Amino acid sequence: MATVAFLGLGVMGYPMAGHLAKAGHTVTVYNRTAAKAQKWVNDNGGASGRTPAEAAKGCDFVMACVGNDDDLRSVCIGETGAFAGMAPGSVFVDHTTVSAAVTREMYSAADSHQISFVDAPVSGGQAGAENGVLSVMCGADQGAYDRAKPIMDAYARTCKRLGASGSGQLTKMVNQICIAGLVQGLSEGLHFAEKAGLDGKAVVEVIAGGAAGSWQMQNRYETMLDDHFDHGFAVDWMRKDLGICLSTADENGASLPVTALVDQFYKDVQKLGGGRWDTSSLVKRLRALDG
């Protein structure tokens, strides 16, 4: 068993840290809102730190799941950042979806402290975090990945190294690009069924086992038909992720016309007041167009 710090106790980090405790690791947590950290300790045992550096002190591994590039920098560097509290030879694992550029920046900063850095964004949403069945996409030196994987296995169904630093974040971009088009297609299909007077649930029962089937269809079609959108990853976060995808595409020359269009559709959802709705709320935008 290892000594582990977990930084960031949002809808993903809170249960992920819990799985580490259940696996028998000694866990110290940090959250910007101290009350959230104390609640986690009350629920799971362990301890909390007042700063990332304090939480990370003496730990073999430090995991983070925060909001964006700036949040990651704030928990990593500076006098109160985790790197200041970590011992040489320890491993930092970042589960945040951020740009590949900031990942490489943090990799270099960690290396200057003789710390290994693994970028390890996740897919599977809140349900995947709660059930411990996330897909983890990693970029790292092989040795660092080999050390960190047994720790990540506490909440991962799939965990794979894709290459050097930044490769995990680039793979997460592929994941979000694919999801954007899938959700829009599913939204249009369900909307069309409604307009055609069909029973949407019956339609999905017929087509879900064929070529049109997907995880999104299996897990989101009922809530989409019922106009409920509080079951997963928020639109605000998806737009952050798609912004990273589009910016990176500008740098590497990839053409992402569907992704760019769906990003604008999510902007429309935000204008409807749906920034905290889950990503399947694209269908609500289509209904709104009907007036």
Domain termination site, one of 146, 164, 182? 164
Whether 15 and 99 map to the same domain: the answer is yes
Mean per-residue pLDDT over the chain, rounded: 97
* Each residue's pLDDT tens digit, 211-242: 999 999 999 999 999 999 997 789 999 999 99
DSSP one-letter code for 87: P
Domain termination site, one of 128, 147, 164? 164
Which tokens go with 276? 């905290």
pLDDT score of 15: 98
pLDDT (average), residues 43-68: 98
pLDDT score of 274: 98
Find the domain containing 285 and state its range: 170-289
Q: Residue 278 belongs to a domain with what CATH number?
A: 1.10.1040.10
Instruction: For residues 47 and 41, give the distance between their C-alpha atoms in angstroms, rounded to a whole number.
Output: 6
What percentage of the chain exceeds 70 in pLDDT? 100
DSSP one-letter code for 280: G
Domain termination site, one of 126, 142, 164? 164
Contacts of 274 (CB under 8 A, 6+ apart): 229, 235, 281, 284
Whether 185 and 133 map to the same domain: the answer is no
Total count of domains within the chain: 2
Residues marked as catalytic: 172
Contacts of 208 (CB under 8 A, 6+ apart): 217, 218, 221
Whether 92 and 152 map to the same domain: the answer is yes
89 Rama class: left (phi>0) / alpha (psi -120 to 50) / beta: left
Read off the pLDDT band of 291 (50, 70, 90). low
* Each residue's pLDDT tens digit, 154-213: 999 999 999 999 999 999 999 999 999 999 999 999 999 999 999 999 999 999 999 999
